[in-house]
């Protein structure tokens, strides 16, 4: 029997399934052709994740490192994620564990987005197009706060997003125990994504259930009936599960004596691109607002013309409530309480981490509106074939452009980071310094720990998500830059005097110094040099004599 979304001549269920599977497979293959070559292991954020994973595997790894030796390990994404990857790595190895988790999270995200698009809009082409927006670099990478739903390397947030989407599906299908259990686990992996999405899902469920109360007259009776119908037991299950991941985050925010300084360092000094809207490029804001505004405009026009974009009334209420609530969370929580009236608790939970959820729904509205417009002009069969042709021609042209520019495997990194400029100094440090050594390195080099396989004083990237750990990290940066930093990245590391270097050495027990090849310290013993860097032994320091 025809499904109504395939050409009329396709009537056999197995053929429908085969065609749908082929479309999905082609979409995933096109996505891999674009995204696959961009898979990276050991780069960027992995520099701070891998050291935690290696410490879980080997308790003696970087035994003197400040970051890894914090006594209080909070329920933060980095440590919980490190424990998960470390556990899996014991059987698969670190590289394979990262790839498997990256593959599972990516497939989970894409499959969930397709399913939601197909179910909510009752149209598999809309679901496919929503997946396409995540796979194409033009739309998949541009978002508020530097976030992305599908990334080129594994992050705790990507794993949390895959779980959150599955939780949303369960809630949408009224499988509340499964949905809130999964969202509870999501909150443990990533507190901000799990907590915000759970709150938004609760609002969407409430709106849907209230809209279904047609047999009750009067606001009081409806509210009473609504209270009875809400899934209180699954919500309690979420609280019990999520509390394990959230209680330390909440407790650290209640400590107002250190929270203000911690939030300033975390959000306004270290990571403004994730927290503070005024730090974002104007093009990102314009692009995001344009997509959302156009989607709402198309929906409004369709409603006025009594045209239906969603599959049914319940889907419409659930999806639109989710959409509007997410936008409101970012507008009120993300902008008002970050830029206008700063609330530290809201800032630390990063409301803009969910920006891609309403954005993906907006693309679904856009495609549904365009599809509806085509249906009004031509027959259903022609519109379906036209939509498929446009989708694959666009994908093929983008894939061809990408391959021509980068090559099929041009940017795939599976063996870990490569160190070009630092390779010689890293190798010398690994082979000629004691394993328990601590190295003074330029704070701008984020690969120093992994490259040297030694503890370092500090770098810009890696710190511990505790008030004490963040404050200690900031103190170390101030020492490495010779002044109290008020603006991130303004460091005069290469201008430090010999006396300042000795002070850092004695304070942090670091006996080796890595500086650019242009910097000369006559008081220290030169142990290695190449065209880029020099490595000195800090003679004269009490910690090294």
Which pLDDT tens digit goes with each residue over 74-101?
A: 556 667 777 788 888 888 888 888 888 8
Other Cβ atoms closer than 10 A to 4: 10
Whole-number pLDDT of residue 86: 84
Tokens of 326: 């997410």
Determine how many CB atoms are found less than 10 A away from the CB of residue 173: 12
- The three-class DSSP label of residue 44 is coil
pLDDT of residue 235 exceeding 60: yes
What one-character DSSP code corresponds to residue 354?
G
Is the same domain home to 507 and 434? yes
pLDDT value of position 108? 86
pLDDT tens digits, 107-146? 888 888 888 988 898 887 788 778 877 766 545 455 677 6
Pick from 374, 405, 436: which residue ends a domain?
Answer: 405
Asked whether residue 327 falls in the same domain as residue 453, the answer is no
Q: Which two tokens stand for residue 28?
A: 């995933």
Calpha distance 423→533 (Å, rounded): 10
Q: What is the pLDDT of residue 399?
A: 53
Closest CA to 125 of 228, 20, 269: 20
Give SS3 for 64.
Answer: coil
pLDDT for res 535: 93
The string of pLDDT tens digits covering residues 464-523 is 767 777 888 888 988 998 887 777 667 888 888 999 999 999 999 999 999 988 888 888
342 lies in the same domain as 434? no
Question: Is residue 395 over pLDDT 70?
Answer: no
Q: Looking at the predicted structure, is the pLDDT value of residue 204 above 90? A: yes
Considering the domain architecture, whether residues 316 and 232 belong to the same structural domain is answered as yes
The answer as to whether 168 is a domain residue is yes
Last residue of a domain, one of 357, 379, 405: 405
Collect contacts of 369-373 with beta carbons under 8 A, ≥24 apart: 369/295, 369/298, 369/299, 369/301, 369/302, 369/309, 370/298, 371/123, 371/125, 371/126, 372/302, 372/307, 372/309
Contacts of 374 (CB under 8 A, 6+ apart): 383, 386, 387
pLDDT over threshold 80, residue 309: yes
SS3 content of the chain, % helix, strand, coil (to 5): 65, 5, 30
Q: Do 307 and 188 have their domain in common?
A: yes
Q: Are residues 427 and 390 in the same domain?
A: no
Residue 418's pLDDT band, with cuts at 50, 70 and 90, is: low
Same domain, 362 and 507: no
* Domain boundary pick from 361, 379, 405: 405
Tokens encoding 465: 């998500």
| Number of compact structural domains in the chain | 2
Same domain, 458 and 309: no
- Nearest alpha carbon to residue 81 among 146, 151, 156, 5: 156
Dist. CA 347–CA 123, nearest whole Å: 38
Are residues 380 and 432 located together in one domain of the fold? no
Region of 540 please: left (phi>0), alpha (psi -120 to 50) or beta. left
First to last CA, the chain: 85
At 5 the pLDDT is 45
512 close to 535: Cβ distance less than 8 angstroms: yes
User: Would residue 22 count as lying in a domain?
Assistant: no
For residue 137, the enclosing domain spans 72-405
Q: In a 3-state reduction of DSSP, which class is residue 456?
A: strand
Q: Rounded to 5 degrees, what angle do the CA atoms 57, 59, 64 make?
A: 130
* Per-residue pLDDT at 439: 93
CB 77 within 8 A of CB 154: no
| More confident call, 50 vs 31 | 50
In a domain, 473, yes or no: yes
Return d(Cα 510, Cα 116) in angstroms, integer: 54
pTM, two decimal places = 0.82
Using CA atoms, how far apart are residues 22 and 36, in angstroms rounded to an integer?
19
Measured over the CA atoms of residue 306, residue 308, residue 313 and residue 314, the dihedral's sign is: negative
Do 174 and 306 fall within a single domain?
yes
Length of the chain: 545
Residues 447, 385 share a domain: no
């Amino acid at each position: 029997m025809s499904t109504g979304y395939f050409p009329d001549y396709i009537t056999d269920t197995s053929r429908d399934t085969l065609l749908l599977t082929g479309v999905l497979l082609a979409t995933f293959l096109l996505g891999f052709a674009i995204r696959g070559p961009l898979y990276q292991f050991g780069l960027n954020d992995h520099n701070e994740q891998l050291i935690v994973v290696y410490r879980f595997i080997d308790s003696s790894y970087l035994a003197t490192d400040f970051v890894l030796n914090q006594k209080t390990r909070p329920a933060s994404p980095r440590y919980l994620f490190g424990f998960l990857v470390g556990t899996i790595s014991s059987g698969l190895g670190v590289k394979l564990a990262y790839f498997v988790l990256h593959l599972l999270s990516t497939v989970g995200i894409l499959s969930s987005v397709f399913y939601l698009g197909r179910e909510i809009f009752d149209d598999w082409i809309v679901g496919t197009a929503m997946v396409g927006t995540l796979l194409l670099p033009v739309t998949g990478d541009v978002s508020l706060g530097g976030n992305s739903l599908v990334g080129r390397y594994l992050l705790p947030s990507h794993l949390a997003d895959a779980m959150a989407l599955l939780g949303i599906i369960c809630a949408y299908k009224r499988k509340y125990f499964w949905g809130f259990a999964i969202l509870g686990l999501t909150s443990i992996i990533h507190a901000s994504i799990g907590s915000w999405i759970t709150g938004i899902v609760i609002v969407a469920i409430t709106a849907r259930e209230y809209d279904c109360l047609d047999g009750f007259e009067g606001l009081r009776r409806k509210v009473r009936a609504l209270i009875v119908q809400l899934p209180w037991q699954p919500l309690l299950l979420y609280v019990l599960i999520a509390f394990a991941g959230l209680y330390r985050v909440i407790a650290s925010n209640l400590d107002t004596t250190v929270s203000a300084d911690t939030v300033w360092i975390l959000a306004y000094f270290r990571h403004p691109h994730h927290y503070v809207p005024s730090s974002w490029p104007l093009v990102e804001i314009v692009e995001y607002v344009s997509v959302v505004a156009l989607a709402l405009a198309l929906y409004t026009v369709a409603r006025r013309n009594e045209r239906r974009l969603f599959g049914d009334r319940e889907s419409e209420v659930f999806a639109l409530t989710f959409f509007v609530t997410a936008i409101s969370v970012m507008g009120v929580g993300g902008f008002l309480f970050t830029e206008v009236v700063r609330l530290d608790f809201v800032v630390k939970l990063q409301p803009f981490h969910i920006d891609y959820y309403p954005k993906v729904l907006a693309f679904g509205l856009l495609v549904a509106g365009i599809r509806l417009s085509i249906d009004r002009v031509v027959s259903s069969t022609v519109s379906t074939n036209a939509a498929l042709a446009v989708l694959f021609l666009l994908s093929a042209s983008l894939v061809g452009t990408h391959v021509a520019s980068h090559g099929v495997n041009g940017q795939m990194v599976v063996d870990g980071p490569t160190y070009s400029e630092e390779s010689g100094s890293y190798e010398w440090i690994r082979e000629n310094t004691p394993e328990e050594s601590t190295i003074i390195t330029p704070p701008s080099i984020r690969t120093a720990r992994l490259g040297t396989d030694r503890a370092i004083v500090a770098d810009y990237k890696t710190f511990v998500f505790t008030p004490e750990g963040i404050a200690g990290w900031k103190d170390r940066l101030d020492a490495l830059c010779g002044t109290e930093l008020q603006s991130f990245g303004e460091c005069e590391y290469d201008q430090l005097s010999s006396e300042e270097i000795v002070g850092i050495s004695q304070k942090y027990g670091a006996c080796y110094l890595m500086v650019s090849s242009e910097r000369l310290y006559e008081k220290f013993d030169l142990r290695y040099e190449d065209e880029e860097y020099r490595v000195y032994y800090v003679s004269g320091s009490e910690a090294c004599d």
